[in-house]
Structure 1
Amino acid sequence: MAHIAWLGKKSPFCGNVTYGLTTTHALRERGHSISFIHFDTPPGQMGRQPVEVAASGGKGRPRRLRQGAGSSSGPGAGTLRRRSRTDAPATESADPEVTLPYLVKSQVYTIPSPGAQRELRESLERLRPDLVHASLTLSPLDFRLPDLCQQLQLPLVATFHPAFDAGLRNLTAGTQQLTYQLYAPTLARFDRVIVFSELQADVLLRLGVQAERLAVIPNGVDTALWQPASGPPSAELAALQQRFAGRRVFLYMGRIATEKNVEALLKAWRLVRPAGCVLVIVGDGPLRSALQGSSEESDVVWWGYEPNLATRVALQQLAEVFLLPSLVEGLSLALLEAMASGTACVATDAGADGEVLEGGAGIVISTQGVTTQLRTLLPVLHDQPVLTAELGRRARARALERYTLENNLNTLEQLYAELVGSRTVAA
């Protein structure tokens, strides 16, 4: 087993947070030691000690790592070595949590304090991990990581999350493309960069990141947790069934922000207003108050941010249709959760979402003219419950085939083993 220093986010809630917490929890379950390093020291507390102890323990195409495949062969590369507890410094627990000071932190970006880089270096020197995995938080510190890890002789892996639309069909997509252009020279210096789809890899390839440094590892979800309801309903699902009795639920779950294009979904819904249906919007963000307005609508429920996992699962199980009208995306975890839950899915072809649903696993629409397309689709989905049931069945089958958390972790461990093994041989 390996000791991994994980750089990521724990707040505010976003897909990056979900990815980091889900992956590190599962890696711990598999016996790995995780030191979670994140920005969590507010400006007024920057003078405090940042280390706390957690309560619980080349050319051509990028390689698409086969999920579930075994580790690479060769001297020192076959498995991750088991780290003795005596390897860790006596002053630290096996799984320490390190907090770094910041000046500004949002769902999109983080501005670290001037002392954050020094504290990160000192933490890595003290922890002595086998490998550093950075779930990139769009922070100036991201650009310093290659030099820092090279100096400390630590393998460095990045997961690059920013949303994109390879077609550059709107202003939001063009803005996101600037993020890719800004990051590409730095990403070319990481040992590996994990992206979620071939389309995302193509964007980075065109920007000069070498194919051998890219690893396509799609997101994965726990398909034993996110699954269609069977047997007696959970307490959360029973409560939702009672609340929405007699109405069919169409669901959006995600941030209420410009790139998510919730405004287009609302326009289409208000034009159609399918009888007997309710649109439930789960999430929060900067546009919520403007889109919600002051008037009450009986067929639109502004749920807000839902922190309870069991309730989020129940919402996906109750929903008949999941709608994702994004202008740009990476690979939406909420979409994968809906698919695994057996919910019929409609999403734009932004990012990798169209790739996920292609071939009949859902309905794919263009990022252009979302309102017009949904205005046509909503009546069809309302009038054809047999169609939505079949789409839900196909979505679940696709999630089981390609997007399970287990396969994601198997592939991630394979990558770790390769990097740790190659560094051991080089030493």
Structure 2
Amino acid sequence: MERKLKVAWIGKKTPFCGNVTYSREITNILSSRGHEVFFFHFNDENVTDDENEVVLPYIYKSQGYTIPSITSGKVLSDALREIKPDIVHASLCLSPLDFRLPEICHDLGIPIVCTFHNAFDKRPTFHGSTSYIVYQIYAVTLAQFDGVIIFSELQKDLLEKMGVSRDIVKVIPNGVDTSKFIPGESEFRKKFPGKQIYTYLGRLNPEKGIDELIKAFTRTEGLDDVQLVIVGGGSQENVLRSIYGEEKNITWTGIIKDEKTRIDILQGSDAFILPSQVEGLSLSLLEAMGCGAPIIATDVGSDGEVLSDGTGIIIDPTKVKSQLSFALKLLHDSKDYRDLLSKKARERVVERYSLLQMLLWLPIIHID
């Protein structure tokens, strides 16, 4: 019988991003399996009456990083001392508090593991070099955790070179609920009769390559019957909308927090495109694959590994303009190829990236 644990989870609830989805899915299922979960997150004070939720004060937070208040460490320490959890699990969110977590927990005699899902790329590009520096900064602290959960062997090799022992690192890829993210009928699709729908879902930040995507889409001939749907928000949203907002074949939805609406859009998509310059292991990519969307994505982070063996179209992040234009036309002109990639995408997620597979490992790591 699985031992029931008292778990203190440090993660994010807002603003919406992959870390929010990851924390929500994991804590919900841990709770459903009988573990007692206390959720620590940065938010305004006194915003919850949930006795299993602890609010940490902050100065600023965004999708990319969080600046905690000077008292956040004490609030965390005091709460842990009172709750006395069996283990702390931190889904690291680029915050200065991340670097204090091992010391805080070990001073209280509490083991701590972390999930480190930060984006990376092995190429010496601007975004790849920036991500490498972030890994170097975090490596010393990661080595102090009792366990580090990452999403790929590539990431494991990188951390080992930076001094993080392989003994504390466990590769557990991201996973999605394959009973929710499934192919199906789409109400969203009915808004664009007679058109193919190509979708991007994620942050609208420079490293995501949205500008390159739109340029390739608008300059590729023969895509008049395609609607490009861009779901999400971020630092580039206003600029991109000011430049391309009048394009009738582009739909901007903004951030969509409702999961059912996002699933409906993915189910209605004839292709999902992720032209990032740097990635970790994209949850939106896995969600789209679960819904059976054919995939075009750059070979960054672990996304290329997910799409290996012809599961999707992999493009070079240094040649996005030329290769993406070709890939868009290829998918547009061949329904048989779209159907094949749809089938392969769904099969790959079910076989290797289901949420259930990921959760089979977590309680074992917590108990160890």
1:98 pairs with 2:54: yes
1:15 pairs with 2:11: no
Q: Which amino acid letter does the alignment assign opposite residue 239 of structure 2?
A: A
Shift, 1:179, TM fit? 0.6
Structure 1: distance between partners of 2:227 and 2:268 = 12
Q: List, as ranges, runs of 4+ consecutive aligned residues in structure 1 with deviation greater than 3 Å.
A: 50-53
Shift, 1:167, TM fit? 2.4
SS in 1 for 2:55: strand
1:133 pairs with 2:89: yes
SS in 2 for 1:293: helix
1:364 to 314, 323, 341: 314
Q: Which amino acid letter does the alignment assign opposite residue 121 of structure 1?
A: S
Aligned position for 1:150: 106
Aligned position for 1:339: 289
Aligned position for 1:160: 116
2:77 to 116, 121, 144: 121
Structure 2: distance between partners of 1:343 and 1:182 = 37
Shift, 1:206, TM fit? 1.1
Shift, 1:355, TM fit? 0.5
1:284 pairs with 2:233: yes
CA contact (8 A) 1:166 1:199 kept: no
1:264 pairs with 2:212: yes
Aligned position for 1:172: 127
Aligned position for 2:156: 201
SS in 2 for 1:400: helix
1:30 pairs with 2:39: no
Give unpaired runs (5+ residues) of structure 2.
none
Aligned position for 2:193: 245
Deviations 1:59-106 (A, max 9, x none): xxxxxxxxxxxxxxxxxxxxxxxxxxxxxxxxxx5xx10001111111
2:254 to 300, 304, 309: 304
Q: Which amino acid letter does the alignment assign opposite residue 174 of structure 2?
A: N
Tell me the percent identity: 45
Aligned position for 1:88: none
Shift, 1:414, TM fit? 1.5
Shift, 1:52, TM fit? 4.9
Aligned position for 2:298: 348
CA contact (8 A) 1:51 1:97 kept: no
Structure 2: distance between partners of 1:166 and 1:172 = 10
CA contact (8 A) 2:16 2:257 kept: no
Structure 2: distance between partners of 1:53 and 1:125 = 20
Deviations 1:212-245 (A, max 9, x none): 011100000000100111xxx4xxx22x132111
Rg comparison, structure with higher value? 1
Aligned position for 1:328: 278
1:396 to 333, 337, 346: 346
Structure 2: distance between partners of 1:129 and 1:193 = 18
Q: Which amino acid letter does the alignment assign opposite residue 357 of structure 2?
A: N
Q: Which amino acid letter does the alignment assign opposite residue 111 of structure 1?
A: I
CA contact (8 A) 2:189 2:265 kept: no
CA contact (8 A) 2:202 2:231 kept: yes
CA contact (8 A) 2:273 2:296 kept: yes
Structure 2: distance between partners of 1:342 and 1:189 = 40
Structure 1: distance between partners of 2:230 and 2:312 = 20
SS in 1 for 2:317: coil
- Pairwise CA RMSD of aligned residues? 1.2
1:221 to 155, 158, 176: 176
Q: Which has the higher contact order (CA 8 A, sep 6+)?
A: 1
Q: Which amino acid letter does the alignment assign opposite residue 176 of structure 2?
A: V
TM-score (norm 2): 0.96
Deviations 1:226-285 (A, max 9, x none): 0111xxx4xxx22x1321111110010000001101111111001115131111000011
Structure 2: distance between partners of 1:242 and 1:252 = 18
Shift, 1:51, TM fit? 9.2
CA contact (8 A) 2:232 2:255 kept: yes
Shift, 1:53, TM fit? 3.8
Structure 2: distance between partners of 1:262 and 1:198 = 28
1:40 pairs with 2:40: no
